[in-house]
Amino acid sequence: MENQEPNNLKDYLEVIKRRKGQLLLTFGVLMLITLLLAFGLPSVYRSTATILIEEPDIPADLVQSTITSFADQQIQVISQRSMTSPNINRIIEDFNLYPEDRERVSQSELVERVREDTTLELISANVIDPRSGRPTQATIAFTLSFDHRQPNLAQRVADALVTVYLEQSLNTRRTQTEQTATFFEEEVQLAEQRVERLELALAKFKAENGEVLPTQYQLTLTALARADAQVLETQRNIQLLNERRIMMDTQIGAVSPSAPVGLGREQVLPPTERLQQLESDYASKSGLYGQDHPTVVRLRREIESLRRETGQGPDLAEVDRKISTYTDQLQELRNRYSESHPDVVNTQRQLDALLADRVAALARDSVPAEVGGYVAATDDVSARLNVRQKPGTSSKVVGFLNKGERAMLVATGTEGWFEVELPNGTQGFVSQEFTRPLKTNDMPRTPTNPVYIQLVSQRNATEAELRGQLATLDALKEQRILLEERIARSPEVERQYTALLRDLTTERAAYSTAKGKELLTRQAEKVESAHGQRFTMIEPAVTPIAPHWPNRLAILFLGVVLSLAGTVGVGAVSESMDAAIRSPAAVIAITGVTPMAVIPYIYNAADSSRGKRNTALIAGVVVAGLVLALLAVHFLYRPLDVLWYAMLRGMGA
């Protein structure tokens, strides 16, 4: 069913006239709500403080602050830290906020209400970033506001909030810087400890492997070459000395220790010497003259008296040697001559005498081995007797007991061996088989033959030199082994050494980095405490004079607009829903026929008087509304006279 749409002004006026009651009612109700809202809502006052974010005094290029987060981010962090329930609860307690709701509403809801009433607004400016040179938005300040119905309370709470924010800001930055500093301090300490540990390890390694260190390698090689040469030389020396000693031993064997005594020449000699001389004489003369010869008898008597005097018997060794000499001689003579040859007889006699002497000497010399007594080498020993370190022939030779020398007996406990002390102080063991104990005053006969003595001393020198050379050789060999060992160990040591050095270098680098950062942090801390970015209140919260909310004028204006729109809407909706017939055309549309007549509304007296009444009422309402509006402007927005002058000024200008 098609409805007749209004399509010209007249039709609209028609519609308005038709629906004026409904429209007026709608408008009236909406305006009533508007007025209730505009004048009924309680005033809320807002107190606002402005806080400036001050850039650090010292440029960031010079000393980088450790706090690099953006200002607005920081503000948010501080806001979160400040608007905690305990803080807000304290503020609620301090200022006795919302006393009427304290009993009814839970504490957390009150806290939430304070949060809602608190407004934080960032103030940004377009600036050029000094680091990147690009234009950017920087937060330079922020405002902190608190809304409350009582202006002075709003101001006081805003003030308290600002105080909390500033404190939190200070704390946050300080904590942040301190944490950074502490962190680097610990880093430095750790790095220091690591370096120290490595240095100690390196020192210890160096001490342990001092000669094997890579720096010593060349030296070791040289030393080894030198040792090799020395070994060769020493070996050659030893060979020479050995040869010489053998030669000398041969010579010594050929020379008698006793010097031949000249018969024709009388010498005043000490009894011992004299005895030796006489014995020598006696041996030759008894052979020459026979036992009964007066000269021989004289000699024998003299010898006996001297022996009594000195206590010395004939030297057993001497006797033995002579016996062997005479035995050899006798053998030779017997091969050459018959038994009855005078030489043979003579020699036989001397041998007999010597044998007798020997028996006597043996009897005399058989003394017990006593500690503290002396022993000497027997005649079986060719030139010298080995003195060994320990009992046994495999033991090391520590010295020699020369023929004719004596050694002091130190101990006798060992089977087959004497422990003796040589005249030069060397202690060692000698075989009992090749020694014989001496009587206390039975000194071996001192060699008297100068040639023999010289030879012996020369041989002893050679001997000593040889020993020295042998020792040198041993030492050199040991040194060589040591050097070779070092060379063998060198690569491994070098590897470990390099590893240690490398670790140390790394740790030192780490240490210096950490140290540098710590220094920077310390600087930054100072900067932060004195000159860092900080919040400064540039505009304290003041007691607001005009309410912040609600904007009654805006509500009024908006309400009027919305009421009009609502009225139009209601009219339009009801008009569109209303399918009433309003014109002959509508009747034609349905019936297909023009109505037989269109009868106008017939007015009567009641109609016209009601019309007049309505007109008067509308006029009255309009006038009252105008007066109300003017009053509202006068008292709520601005006094009318002020507005009037402002308007005049605006027109005049």
Residue 605 or 651 with smaller CB distance to other proteins: 605
Residue 339 or 603 with smaller CB distance to other proteins: 603
Residue 67 or 589 with smaller CB distance to other proteins: 589
Smallest separation, CB 594 to other proteins (Å): 8
Q: Is 603 in the site for other proteins (CB under 8 A)?
A: yes
DSSP string covering 376-432, please? EE-TTSSSEEEEESSSSTTSPEEEEEETT-EEEEEE--STTEEEEE-TTS-EEEEEG
Q: Which two tokens stand for residue 160?
A: 């308290």
Determine which residue in the list 300, 334, 582, 634 makes contact with other proteins, applying CB under 8 A: 582
Residue 6 or 391 with smaller CB distance to other proteins: 6
Smallest separation, CB 629 to other proteins (Å): 33
CA distance 117 to 214: 78
Determine which residue in the list 21, 262, 600, 652 makes contact with other proteins, applying CB under 8 A: 600
Which residue's structure tokens are 């002893």? Answer: 460
Only segment of 57-65, 485-493, 578-586, 636-644 that touches other proteins (CB under 8 A): 578-586
Smallest separation, CB 105 to other proteins (Å): 54
Q: Is 597 in the site for other proteins (CB under 8 A)?
A: yes
CA distance 154 to 615: 50
CA distance 263 to 199: 87
**Best CA proximity match to 553, nearest among 564, 545, 561, 541:** 561
Q: Is 579 in the site for other proteins (CB under 8 A)?
A: yes
**Total binding residues toward other proteins, as defined by CB under 8 A:** 30
Only segment of 14-22, 53-61, 95-103, 265-273 that touches other proteins (CB under 8 A): 14-22
Is the omega angle on the peptide bond into residue 550 within 30 degrees of 0, that is, cis?
A: yes
Residue 582 or 634 with smaller CB distance to other proteins: 582
Determine which residue in the list 77, 595, 632, 643 makes contact with other proteins, applying CB under 8 A: 595
Smallest separation, CB 565 to other proteins (Å): 25
Determine which residue in the list 410, 443, 542, 586 makes contact with other proteins, applying CB under 8 A: 586
Q: Using CA of residue 97, residue 103, residue 105, residue 109, what is the dihedral sign?
A: positive
CA distance 616 to 624: 12
How many C-beta atoms lie closer than 10 Å to residue 504's C-beta? Answer: 17
Residue 565 or 579 with smaller CB distance to other proteins: 579
In b/e form, how buried is each residue of 193-220, taking b as 16+ CB within 10 angstroms? Answer: ebbeebeeeeeebeeebebbbeebbeeb
Backbone angles phi, psi at 411, to 5 degrees: -150, 155
CA distance 414 to 408: 16
DSSP, collapsed to helix, strand or coil, labels residue 143 as: strand
CA distance 537 to 497: 63
Q: Is 581 in the site for other proteins (CB under 8 A)?
A: yes
- Contact present, 368 and 437 (Cβ < 8 Å): yes
Q: Is 9 in the site for other proteins (CB under 8 A)?
A: no
- Contact present, 177 and 169 (Cβ < 8 Å): no
Smallest separation, CB 622 to other proteins (Å): 24
DSSP, collapsed to helix, strand or coil, labels residue 472 as: helix
Residue 171 or 594 with smaller CB distance to other proteins: 594
Q: Is 18 in the site for other proteins (CB under 8 A)?
A: yes
Only segment of 151-159, 215-223, 435-443, 589-597 that touches other proteins (CB under 8 A): 589-597
Q: First vs last Cα of the chain: how many Å apart?
A: 60
Smallest separation, CB 114 to other proteins (Å): 59
CA distance 283 to 355: 12
Smallest separation, CB 26 to other proteins (Å): 19
CA distance 297 to 278: 12
Residue 266 or 601 with smaller CB distance to other proteins: 601
Stretch 82-111: interaction string toward other proteins, x if CB under 8 A: ------------------------------
- Contact present, 235 and 453 (Cβ < 8 Å): no
Determine which residue in the list 599, 641, 649, 651 makes contact with other proteins, applying CB under 8 A: 599
For residue 263, what is the DSSP state?
Answer: S
Only segment of 363-371, 387-395, 431-439, 601-609 that touches other proteins (CB under 8 A): 601-609
Residue 394 or 603 with smaller CB distance to other proteins: 603
Torsion angle of the four alpha carbons 67, 71, 72, 78, in this order, in degrees rounded to the nearest 10: 60
CA distance 230 to 241: 16
Determine which residue in the list 63, 323, 408, 587 makes contact with other proteins, applying CB under 8 A: 587
Determine which residue in the list 6, 14, 348, 395 makes contact with other proteins, applying CB under 8 A: 14
DSSP, collapsed to helix, strand or coil, labels residue 50 as: strand
- Classify strands 406-411 and 397-402 as parallel, antiparallel or unpaired: unpaired
CA distance 467 to 464: 5
CA distance 320 to 333: 19
Smallest separation, CB 598 to other proteins (Å): 4
For residue 139, what is the DSSP state?
Answer: E
Residue 601 or 652 with smaller CB distance to other proteins: 601
Smallest separation, CB 148 to other proteins (Å): 55
Only segment of 171-179, 423-431, 478-486, 594-602 that touches other proteins (CB under 8 A): 594-602
Smallest separation, CB 2 to other proteins (Å): 9
Q: Is 3 in the site for other proteins (CB under 8 A)?
A: yes
Stretch 302-341: interaction string toward other proteins, x if CB under 8 A: ----------------------------------------
Only segment of 158-166, 423-431, 440-448, 603-611 that touches other proteins (CB under 8 A): 603-611
Q: Is 363 in the site for other proteins (CB under 8 A)?
A: no
Q: Which two tokens stand for residue 35?
A: 């007025």
**Best CA proximity match to 498, nearest among 214, 232, 276, 93:** 214
Show the CA angle centred on residue 174, arms to residues 173 and 177, nearest 5°. 85
Residue 135 or 584 with smaller CB distance to other proteins: 584
Q: Is 16 in the site for other proteins (CB under 8 A)?
A: no
Determine which residue in the list 598, 641, 649, 653 makes contact with other proteins, applying CB under 8 A: 598
Q: Is 601 in the site for other proteins (CB under 8 A)?
A: yes
DSSP, collapsed to helix, strand or coil, labels residue 535 as: strand
Smallest separation, CB 639 to other proteins (Å): 46
- Contact present, 255 and 451 (Cβ < 8 Å): yes
Cα 81 to the center of its chain, rounded Å:
38
Residue 581 or 619 with smaller CB distance to other proteins: 581
Determine which residue in the list 5, 17, 340, 546 makes contact with other proteins, applying CB under 8 A: 17
Determine which residue in the list 62, 580, 651, 653 makes contact with other proteins, applying CB under 8 A: 580
User: Applying CB under 8 A, which residues contact other proteins?
Assistant: 1, 3, 14, 17-18, 578-584, 586-587, 589-591, 593, 595-606
